[in-house]
Structure 1
């Protein structure tokens, strides 16, 4: 397994970081906690080019993504008059485009080597080619899929699976692939919270809706049962490994521990390893100070796979 990281993943916002519970510098903290391990780290060379982003977005979204007001609304922070779009682009959107490069790099390497690739950032599963919301501006899985098809890494008939274990339903991925029968979704989510769009929930092939307050034992049992339904010979799997399932997370509504998250990722990746399916893990959400520790613990638990 290889970890994908770049210092530019981190959101260096100064005092503005207090406007949102997301720990924008957690990626560096994960690397710090992994210090001394034998895990190999690879680095995306540059943010995904705007040209590639625009190939994915529809015409309206190309305009909307340049609006400071709409981007700030997507980031769930109030409009701030003295903050320019240039500042937002440099401090937030550029790290996000770098995260997209990380997911694409991970997918390319997974397909070539069969190794598990773990992108610390990415997993922007609320974004789509037609919308941005929920702190997700660019859909890294959708953009990566498009580029993999374009480059020939994936064929028109190759089947791809998205396993989403973020606490929130991945409505952006469901919308993006709503008409693509070759992309399947397994989604374990809190059915009591955002996003509640039923039509995107209905798009999920393997839905695992859970109630608020679920603890690790039940969560892992339901996840394991869903994984056992995977019988298709997928060419590639994307995993959205959000840590907002932690009990200390104020947004996810679940009651998992750091140890539960580590077990979760090991259950998923062990299963996919047995099936010999190339896999790239993406970061997903996580809005607590334990997020970095949970990611580091999961990587350590899976490092020998």
Structure 2
């Protein structure tokens, strides 16, 4: 590690491997094969496609948008990284078992992932096969936060665990990656004082809402199906712009509301960065989302958000969050390709940071540094 990288890693109170120098030949797209959860078929017991992140990358490679050399390799968030937000008590719960006689039960992780057989797995396997992938995706979101400030945009192909707060997980969310990415930016990147979360997953983002309930630096817009999990009335107090949808909401109404409220949110408060939770569980037929948005509607939705950010010269970090049909990976890839075709993100090493949003960001002095619930 270079002296410059080491200095970056130490800002904010502890040394981290997540704020690294990224070669200009890389696109600000973060991913690791470690994201994908595969273990004895247990992942198939939850409707979540636990391999969708790898499929997105496969499609983007197939369409020659990225190569292995142009992806930023995500690193696993360490316990010190996680303690920036999470309590020691909560992290300890993820490591420990409930003992009954000679058996050790992984109760907390089984509850969070909603995969009951996880209850009976030894904790070292739970750590390696379930929690490590989620920690790596969490590290990817934190890395993408810095990349968004450096390049004007970044996409973590995973992440978006918006039901997890500092001391409680749920809905397949074990780590609060959105909260962590924002806290890292506040602590380590000079000039980042305000963040706006635009949460367009079908579910209410109660995790980051609980974390930022009393924090005026964070503006939260949340658009979700009012009738589904989590229905967290306490967390809703943190939402500055709340859009509650009915069952079966379709493209026209949805896109009108998204555009109206994204523009309204960014006109109300101009943040230093946007964190965009781009769940695809709004797709028609999703078993958990209960909405009826077409694939084309999802692509258009993402374009609306990125266009609003670009028009204002705002850095944007996108995470992929929920989505419970096999076709969602193709839709996410199509949306990223559309953002490139629309000139809203750059593609290919030749374009690099020189044609990114950097001219618009020069004012920022970056430091060196059973019933399933769902994402």
TM-score, normalised with respect to structure 1: 0.94
Give 3-state SS (helix, strand or coil) of 2:131's partner: helix
Unaligned runs of 5+ in 2: 1-26, 97-105, 345-375
Please name the residue that 1:246 is paired with.
283
Q: State how far apart, in whole Å, the 2-side matches of 1:88 and 1:234 are.
A: 38
Please name the residue that 1:172 is paired with.
207
2:72 to 27, 35, 43: 43
Q: State how far apart, in whole Å, the 2-side matches of 1:144 and 1:153 are.
A: 14
Is the 8 Å Cα contact of residues 28 and 151 (structure 2) preserved in structure 1? Answer: no
Please name the residue that 1:64 is paired with.
93
Give 3-state SS (helix, strand or coil) of 1:192's partner: coil
**How many pairs are equivalent?**
302
User: Counterparts in 2 of 1:7-46, with a 5 A limit?
Assistant: 7-34=33-60, 35-39=62-66, 41-46=70-75
Pair 1:202–1:55, CA change in 2 (3 A): closer
Give 3-state SS (helix, strand or coil) of 1:56's partner: coil
Unaligned runs of 5+ in 1: none
Matched, 1:5 2:31: yes
Q: State how far apart, in whole Å, the 2-side matches of 1:11 and 1:227 are.
A: 33
User: Counterparts in 2 of 1:130-279, with a 5 A limit?
Assistant: 130-153=167-190, 155=192, 158-229=193-264, 230-231=266-267, 232-279=269-316
Pair 1:212–1:109, CA change in 2 (3 A): same
Q: How far does the alpha carbon of each residue in 1:213-236 deviate from its partner, in whole angstroms, 9 at most, with x for none? A: 101111111101101212222101
Pair 1:81–1:213, CA change in 2 (3 A): closer
Is the 8 Å Cα contact of residues 73 and 79 (structure 1) preserved in structure 2? Answer: no
Give 1:297 shift.
1.2
Is the 8 Å Cα contact of residues 248 and 290 (structure 1) preserved in structure 2? Answer: no
Please name the residue that 1:124 is paired with.
161
Give 1:259 shift.
1.1
Pair 1:159–1:55, CA change in 2 (3 A): closer
Pair 1:220–1:45, CA change in 2 (3 A): closer
More off after superposition, 236-245 vs 194-203: 194-203
Q: State how far apart, in whole Å, the 1-side matches of 2:313 and 2:66 are.
A: 21
Is the 8 Å Cα contact of residues 111 and 153 (structure 1) preserved in structure 2? Answer: no
1:95 to 107, 123, 133: 133
More off after superposition, 82-91 vs 137-146: 82-91
Q: State how far apart, in whole Å, the 2-side matches of 1:28 and 1:179 are.
A: 37
**Could you list the runs of 4 or more consecutive aligned residues of structure 1 that deviate by over 6 angstroms after TM superposition?**
none
TM-score, normalised with respect to structure 2: 0.77
Q: Which has the larger radius of gyration?
A: 2
Please name the residue that 1:107 is paired with.
145
Q: State how far apart, in whole Å, the 2-side matches of 1:133 and 1:241 are.
A: 18
Q: State how far apart, in whole Å, the 2-side matches of 1:6 and 1:52 are.
A: 18
